[in-house]
Structure 1
Amino acid sequence: MTVSPMYYHYDELGEPCGGVHLDVCGTGVDIQYFHHHRDGVDLVFVNHPCFIENAENIYGGSVMDVAWRGALLSQAAIEAIWHVPCGGFPYGTESLVYVANDWHTALLPVYLQAFYKEHFHLGFARSVLVVHNISHQGRSHWDDVWRLGLPDHHTGAFHLDDPMEGQGMNILKAGIEYATKVIAVSPGYAWEISTDEGGWGLAPTIRNDPMKISGIVNGIDFDTWSPEHDTHLQSDGYQTYGTNLEGLWTGKQACKAALQRQLGLPERHEVPVLGFIGRLDEQKGLDLILDSEEYLMSRDIQIVFLGSGRQDLQDRLYDMECRNRDKVRAWIGYSDQMAHRITASCDILLMPSRYEPCGLNQLYAMHYGTVPVVHAVGGLRDTVLHYDGENEGTGWTFERAEVDKFQWALGQALYSFWDHRDSFMGVALRGMHRDLGWDHAAYLYECKLLEAKYAH
């Protein structure tokens, strides 16, 4: 069963299947449940005006506004087992493992203990908290803890004395402490959040119980991301292609030419095309690319950017394009179609992120035969094996987010492209043939959920 806010009334849902009255942070609330069964999964939606009102900005409002909506969703998810008749009958209370995601629902493990287990309900239920980005924590003034409606003896877990920001309330910290298991979105990120540099103030909490922390890399949806049947590659001169050497030499080259035509770049099959897809901010390391303009433009390359973000970085990208019209194109904004086309058409994808909990673009790139050049952090370290000329590498990596280190790794990739094309194609093929789907990730999640189920 999945439980989600109902931001819109979806046609498939029909009429509500149940409802319940909740006490959310001291406020009485009536909610409705809608249920739909699809592909073997019970999809449950929680209907309340607060979700409809924020449909266009789901994280809108103050921290406590978002926390209130998260508290409502968390309690509704706990109660769903009694009020939603999946298959004609409610789930019941046996063998339950609740999975919460990030700080927005990190209250669920706390509420499970405070409102249910301590009152002799759901005694065998367990909770798992998945951390996608530990920098977002639900921090607020300490006095706001009393607005959560919890008994006094549960408030201590929310306390964080941060050397930079002082004492305050931290919802993610409490969720980590109360959860049976905590899963980060890659093994590398699970380690990083335990360090003072990567834990954003919560490293001591993570290190306090290291056995509950693990990491699992996300998978990609092959129904949406596959060069063999990508709907975005079926027009405008683009074409789908197989995950084999023939696909790289034919279909991918056709996509490369189509991208050059669409963006008004010189149509040259022999020039390496580099791509960047992501938010234009410091985290994504875009400044490392911009600060390498002289290095890049002194080489026979083309580079395409897709993203939006900080205005100063957008301005720098625009200026870089104006200075180098025959080599640079910047698409400010986001286009799902263009993301697919850039991924399929480029020879090299740049991901110089300063931190990257998991990352998906490098997975998409490898599956499309586009070689990633990445900063070896988080999920990038776990998924891209640096090619040293002899091993089974799937890309090139660099160890520190510094311009010279980025240029060194990119230089290795370009050297291979120009002077050792067979080796470069081997790197691309190994990436295409990796198991990047959800089957393996789902198996690892199942193992962790079973560990949580039988934990004391």
Structure 2
Amino acid sequence: MGGLRILVASSEVAGLAKTGGLADVAASLPRALAGRGHQVAVVMPYYAAVRRTGTPVEKTGIALPVPLGGRTLACRLLRTRLPNSDVPVYLVEHPPFFERDDGPGRGLYQQGMPGGYKADYPDNAERFTFFSRAVLEAVPFLGFTPDVIHANDWQTGLVPVFLNEAYRTKPAYKHVRSLFTIHNIAYQGTFGPEVMKLTGLPGWLLNPGQLEFHGYLNFLKAGIVFADAVNTVSPTYAREITTPDFGCGLDGLLRGVSGKLSGIVNGCDYADWDPANDRHIAAKYTADTVTAGKAACKADLQKRFNLPQKPDVPVLGMVARLVSQKGVDLVLSAAPGFLDLGCQLVFLGDGDPEYHDELNDFKARHPDKVGVFLGFNEGLAHAVEAGSDLFLMPSRYEPCGLNQLYSLRYGTAPVVRATGGLADTVVNATEEHLKAGTATGFSFGEFSARALYETVKWALSLYRTRPADFAQVVRTAMAQDWGWDRSAAEYEALYRKVSRVG
């Protein structure tokens, strides 16, 4: 079978501009696809964040005319490459829309508000309508005609709509197909009906069967309806979002298009996340040297968080956005019980101010048992993964999750709620799975502090009284391969099905 030609459209790309897991996928998947022999390019906005990385950016001499709300705006198309690859990244330059992340509290999509909260930019609909249209205007200048345009999340939800309704009759676009990936269905890009005028699309498309959602224009729904195929970032999440509990109002639509909906687990970038060659941790280690390696990393972690360096005290680690989705409230409710079980706890993250306050108060009450770092620090995130004995990830929902994949590779048994990608990647340490040698972590179903506490209690029982069984869980976890080549092979098959190539 011949190679495919793929254009990945994303509002963020790791190594250039990032707020979350979408950026990791938009960087790692194209690299893996290129490694499999496919022709791949990426297109994203040219943010101030890209300039701050110091990445070399070259001018292409290409100016794109982008229709927007009855007028035509000009933008330049710049070019760079994905870090550590030859995959080209095309940057849509329009400073009024995309170079505002240049001051305190100003991000890619949001700005800081009084009280520590964040609010979306009021013109996000205009910004990402413009970007979606620019993606399609860029197609003739890529040096190849894509078999598939792979759009991601609501920020590119209009790409499949524009492709079908405004570009399909043009020769360069006749055979181009689209895949739309939902990374988190809770974020939908819902705007007032007046935004239809910005799109330039026919007003009759704003109907319940296509773009309209309870009187609003919904960018995520647009991508789902108009794309040739839809996927999300784990098989379990693909099933969950067709239910009222997880579908965020779109479950009926997704049940209706279930024939084109699938799930592919994200990969883990082992070039960055592997204790055998991790420059951020105190001691490199493999499955053969995990006992000594993790002991050194644990001592280093305790030192970093100003905790007593006690090798026999289990350390529970958590690295997460401090929001309700991540189950922070469960951890805070169960945390006094964890201390009673003789544990130390370390937290790294940033999010809602009330969680900041609660964590700081908890640390103040137990300074010799609790460590807190509010914000994000890449090196410290690696240290938590390497130095903890258990990693806490009790999410309300989790489309895929990456930290549990990191934890598996680092031999830090993840404690997860069995939802979304967590259910697909962690094998619970039941007696049956322990006997079969397949257990890789610990999981529970009910979203409650009691269920989390009992699961940690069971994990600590193995850790303390059945060390051989606990060591087997660690070794089995480290042997798992959730690398990007596996994910890329599944995406390749999906692209071929969508484009009918090969």
* Residue 87 of structure 1: aligned partner: none
Does the C-alpha gap of structure 1 residues 308 and 63 become closer, same or farther in structure 2, counting only changes over 3 Å? closer
* Residue 164 of structure 1: aligned partner: none
| Cα displacement (A) at 1:394 | 0.6
Q: Any idea what the Cα deviations from partners look like across 1:218-273, whole Å, max 9, x if unmatched? A: 1111121110111112xxxx11112x14x221111001011112222121111111
* Residue 279 of structure 1: aligned partner: 321
Q: CA separation in 1, counterparts of 2:398 and 2:458?
A: 22
User: Mapping of 1:32-181 within 5 angstroms?
Assistant: 32-36=76-80, 39-49=85-95, 50-54=97-101, 56-60=106-110, 65-84=123-142, 90-92=143-145, 96-118=147-169, 122-156=173-207, 157-161=210-214, 167-181=215-229
User: Structure 2 regions of 5+ residues with no counterpart?
Assistant: 1-40, 112-119
Q: CA separation in 2, counterparts of 1:406 and 1:101?
A: 33
Q: Report if aligned partners of 1:284, 1:353 keep a CA contact under 8 Å in 2.
A: yes
User: Is 1:376 equivalent to 2:418 in the alignment?
Assistant: yes
| Cα displacement (A) at 1:17 | 3.7
Describe the SS at the equivalent of 1:142.
coil
Q: Report if aligned partners of 1:278, 1:306 keep a CA contact under 8 Å in 2.
A: yes
* Residue 442 of structure 1: aligned partner: 488
Higher alpha-carbon deviation: 112-121 or 314-323 = 112-121
User: Is 1:322 equivalent to 2:380 in the alignment?
Assistant: no
Q: Report if aligned partners of 1:226, 1:368 keep a CA contact under 8 Å in 2.
A: yes
Q: CA separation in 1, counterparts of 2:255 and 2:385?
A: 38
* Residue 268 of structure 2: aligned partner: 220
Q: Report if aligned partners of 2:196, 2:203 keep a CA contact under 8 Å in 1.
A: no
Q: Any idea what the Cα deviations from partners look like across 1:269-312, whole Å, max 9, x if unmatched? A: 11111101112221111111111133112111111111122222
Does the C-alpha gap of structure 1 residues 196 and 293 become closer, same or farther in structure 2, counting only changes over 3 Å? same
Q: CA separation in 2, counterparts of 1:269 and 1:361?
A: 23
| Cα displacement (A) at 1:11 | 5.0
Q: CA separation in 1, counterparts of 2:358 and 2:55?
A: 44
Q: CA separation in 2, counterparts of 1:349 and 1:434?
A: 17
User: Structure 1 regions of 5+ residues with no counterpart?
Assistant: 85-89, 162-166
1:201 to 218, 230, 249: 249
TM-score, normalising length from structure 2? Answer: 0.83
Q: CA separation in 2, counterparts of 1:7 and 1:142?
A: 28
Q: CA separation in 1, counterparts of 2:110 and 2:322?
A: 21
Higher alpha-carbon deviation: 34-43 or 210-219 = 34-43
Q: CA separation in 1, counterparts of 2:488 and 2:94?
A: 31
Q: Report if aligned partners of 1:107, 1:175 keep a CA contact under 8 Å in 2.
A: yes
Q: Report if aligned partners of 2:59, 2:77 keep a CA contact under 8 Å in 1.
A: no
What residue identity is the alignment partner of 1:53?
R
User: Mapping of 1:228-377 within 5 angstroms?
Assistant: 228-233=276-281, 238-242=282-286, 244-245=287-288, 247-377=289-419
Q: CA separation in 1, counterparts of 2:488 and 2:337?
A: 42
Q: Report if aligned partners of 1:63, 1:138 keep a CA contact under 8 Å in 2.
A: no
| Cα displacement (A) at 1:145 | 2.6
Describe the SS at the equivalent of 2:411.
coil
Q: CA separation in 2, counterparts of 1:11 and 1:267?
A: 40
Describe the SS at the equivalent of 2:138.
helix
* Residue 42 of structure 2: aligned partner: 2
User: Is 1:395 equivalent to 2:441 in the alignment?
Assistant: yes
Q: CA separation in 2, counterparts of 1:3 and 1:64?
A: 23
Higher alpha-carbon deviation: 144-153 or 197-206 = 144-153
| Cα displacement (A) at 1:179 | 0.4
Describe the SS at the equivalent of 2:245.
coil
User: Is 1:183 equivalent to 2:183 in the alignment?
Assistant: no
Q: Report if aligned partners of 1:20, 1:83 keep a CA contact under 8 Å in 2.
A: no
Calculate percent identity across the aligned residue pairs. 36
User: Is 1:23 equivalent to 2:67 in the alignment?
Assistant: yes
Q: Report if aligned partners of 1:352, 1:373 keep a CA contact under 8 Å in 2.
A: yes
Q: CA separation in 2, counterparts of 1:330 and 1:11?
A: 33
Moved >6 Å (runs of 4+): none
Q: Report if aligned partners of 2:399, 2:420 keep a CA contact under 8 Å in 1.
A: yes
Q: Any idea what the Cα deviations from partners look like across 1:80-119, whole Å, max 9, x if unmatched? A: 22124xxxxx214xx5210111001100000001111156
Q: CA separation in 1, counterparts of 2:220 and 2:471?
A: 44
Q: CA separation in 2, counterparts of 1:37 and 1:317?
A: 40
Q: Give the number of aligned pairs.
A: 437
Q: Report if aligned partners of 2:125, 2:195 keep a CA contact under 8 Å in 1.
A: no
What residue identity is the alignment partner of 2:274?
S
| Cα displacement (A) at 1:37 | 5.0
Q: Any idea what the Cα deviations from partners look like across 1:300-359, whole Å, max 9, x if unmatched? A: 111111112222222221222122222111112211111010100001000011011111
